[in-house]
Structure 1
Amino acid sequence: MQPRLSQLAVYPIKSTAPLHLSRCAVADTGLAFDRQFVVCDSNGKFLTARTQPQLLSIKASLLHDSLIMSAPESEPLTLKYTSIEKHYDNITVWKDQINAAYCGKAAEQWFSRLLQRPCKLYFFDSQSSRSVAENPEKQVAFADGYPLLLISQASLSDLNQRCKSTVVMEQMRPNLVVENTLPYAEDSWKRIRIGTVEFIIAKPCGRCILTTTDPDTLKRNPDREPLSILKKYRKGRDGEAHFGQNLIALNHGIISRGDAVEVLEVCEPERYPTT
């Protein structure tokens, strides 16, 4: 069967809930508005749901002129794009220093109340720059390291057969979900086309403790599933548990849910030790 794009999601604010879309533009940093905002502490260091699981409860809606943020037991906050200040701070995302636009006092107060600590919201705008480590000519906003993450539905189904608890796709936080493939078919893809956009597969995605957090209860799995299971059968040469593939777009365009996923070039997949 023809592989097809079955889910399409962006995470406007890093580590917050996914926003599922029917179609989306692909720009220099990946999907439009994906991880374009990030919450930082008072020292300008990025915050994620690894240590602040409350972030997962935040939902962001995109309008033509604003971002609307909502969370349980909090009044929604509307951030007009025109209100984002032309004041830039040097913030830290992993090892990268990024010149990011401060989103104002209202957002600062909203997130500080929610997380119960001083923090600020920043935007990756046209004055911001951050190169992909292994492809310095390509840009990434506030995603961990690469612009996009792709996972096949069959891979998640296979993982669930190995776990005691059910793993939902939201725990794996992909941008693109593909159906009509064998499990881990994406491991052997090197170059694909979706809609009018071509992508190269950069490397397997090394997974972290965030995958063990239930997106509804915000609690961690007591058995550290699925990470503990992935380490048993998907541990790569880099020592990380792999699940999904990191992508880089080669051109701009529009992709839509239901689009065919054309495999243009394949490669030898990484071999994982059996247990």
Structure 2
Amino acid sequence: MGTYKISSLYIYPIKSLGGISLKEATVQERGLQYDRRWMLVDEKGGFLSQRKFAQMALLQVHLQHDGLLVAHKHNVLRPLFIPFDAPQEKEITVTVWDDTFTAKEVDGITSEWFTKALGMPARLVYMPESSRRHVDPDYAFAEEVVSFADAYPFLLIGQEALNNLNAKLDAPVPMNRFRPNIVFTGGQPHEEDTWETFTIGEVQFRAAKPCARCVLTTVDQQTGIKGAEPLKTLATYRTQNNKVLFGQNLVHTGKGTIAIGDEITVAAWKK
């Protein structure tokens, strides 16, 4: 047992675009407030991802008091403002992996901006409260719901896991390659793999499954250029059942506010 404290918090309001670092965050039913509640889709409603379109890394989202501001890191377009209260009228069917459900397109002007920014057809959609997408029942505990995230409301990574990886790399990589929601200090590398349930404040979290990593981790978030690392090195010591694992996917019970400096209290460890 050790002392674990939150060292960083991140949200990614628009799936697969640049994340936002927060000092504190509000835990809601689907995860952290604003996290992956917007998503870019193609003409057929399929989600767009850095896995295939690395240039998405060049679009940075900023949180404003009344909406989102999206800017291109190379300033090739004027920034786009997306109000939180923007009406979404057109309902469309969207797909995230094996899940098909309903979302609402923000508006044509917004979608046109993203089409120009990415150089390909793209529409921005929003997940309304009425849309119910559930966590994979094989790993859910109470029919938890999730936003446009790949599969789970939260991703947790220990700083020591990244430090251990970087010690093996010729050029260290930042945490943003792994797109976590919660980063903590304390313990040994990958100690989060041993946690079953834990609490932060009034919110209880439960480990659903280890996070299988993909080529998105090889995209430099500043340049949008894809390489071989860190996935190549991770595969040498973090492969299990042909999957490269790094971090823990979480589900949760309760709502509240969590903040940098909050202590994580582990209630139960995996057998």
Which residue identity does 2:7 align to in structure 1?
S
How far 1:81 sits from its partner (Å)?
Answer: 2.4
The 8 Å contact of residues 84 and 102 in structure 1, kept in 2 or not, is answered as no
How far 1:231 sits from its partner (Å)?
Answer: 1.5
How far 1:250 sits from its partner (Å)?
Answer: 1.1
Identity within the alignment, %:
35
The 8 Å contact of residues 54 and 226 in structure 2, kept in 1 or not, is answered as no
Of 208, 211, 222, the residue aligned with 2:217 is 211
Residue in structure 1 matched with residue 263 of structure 2 by the alignment:
260
How far 1:70 sits from its partner (Å)?
Answer: 1.1
Q: Which runs of 5+ in 1 are unaligned?
A: 269-275
The 8 Å contact of residues 57 and 223 in structure 2, kept in 1 or not, is answered as no
Residue in structure 1 matched with residue 51 of structure 2 by the alignment:
50
Q: Does 1:236 align with 2:236?
A: no
The 8 Å contact of residues 195 and 256 in structure 1, kept in 2 or not, is answered as no
Which residue identity does 2:68 align to in structure 1?
L
How far 1:90 sits from its partner (Å)?
Answer: 0.5
The 8 Å contact of residues 134 and 143 in structure 2, kept in 1 or not, is answered as yes
Residue in structure 1 matched with residue 153 of structure 2 by the alignment:
147
The 8 Å contact of residues 84 and 101 in structure 1, kept in 2 or not, is answered as no
Describe how 1:76-95 pairs up with structure 2 within 5 A: 76-95=79-98
SS at match of 2:243: coil
The 8 Å contact of residues 211 and 247 in structure 2, kept in 1 or not, is answered as yes
CA–CA distance in structure 1, aligned partners of residues 164 and 84 of structure 2: 42
The 8 Å contact of residues 135 and 151 in structure 2, kept in 1 or not, is answered as yes
Residue in structure 2 matched with residue 101 of structure 1 by the alignment:
104
Deviates more, 1:199-208 or 1:130-139: 130-139
The 8 Å contact of residues 86 and 106 in structure 2, kept in 1 or not, is answered as yes
How far 1:40 sits from its partner (Å)?
Answer: 0.5
How far 1:156 sits from its partner (Å)?
Answer: 0.3
Q: Does 1:175 align with 2:178?
A: no
CA–CA distance in structure 1, aligned partners of residues 167 and 191 of structure 2: 17
Deviates more, 1:116-125 or 1:132-141: 132-141
The 8 Å contact of residues 201 and 245 in structure 1, kept in 2 or not, is answered as yes
Which residue identity does 2:109 align to in structure 1?
A
The 8 Å contact of residues 56 and 224 in structure 2, kept in 1 or not, is answered as no
Summarize deviations over 1:126-159 as a string: whole Å, max 9, x none. Answer: 1211100132711111111111100000000001
SS at match of 1:163: coil
CA–CA distance in structure 2, aligned partners of residues 74 and 249 of structure 1: 39
Aligned CA-pair RMSD = 1.2
Residue in structure 1 matched with residue 10 of structure 2 by the alignment:
9
How far 1:65 sits from its partner (Å)?
Answer: 2.6
How far 1:213 sits from its partner (Å)?
Answer: 1.0
Find runs of 4+ consecutive structure 1 residues off by over 4 angstroms: none
TM-score for both structures, normalised by structure 2: 0.94
Q: Which runs of 5+ in 2 are unaligned?
A: none
Residue in structure 2 matched with residue 41 of structure 1 by the alignment:
42
How far 1:57 sits from its partner (Å)?
Answer: 1.7
How far 1:164 sits from its partner (Å)?
Answer: 2.1
CA–CA distance in structure 1, aligned partners of residues 87 and 248 of structure 2: 33
Q: Does 1:227 align with 2:231?
A: yes
CA–CA distance in structure 2, aligned partners of residues 64 and 160 of structure 1: 36
CA–CA distance in structure 2, aligned partners of residues 168 and 13 of structure 1: 20
Summarize deviations over 1:141-191 as a string: whole Å, max 9, x none. Answer: 111111110000000000111222212100011110000221111010010
Q: Does 1:32 align with 2:36?
A: no
Which residue identity does 2:163 align to in structure 1?
S
CA–CA distance in structure 2, aligned partners of residues 76 and 195 of structure 1: 37
TM-score for both structures, normalised by structure 1: 0.93
Describe how 1:125-204 pairs up with structure 2 within 5 A: 125-134=128-137, 135=140, 137-204=143-210
SS at match of 2:56: helix
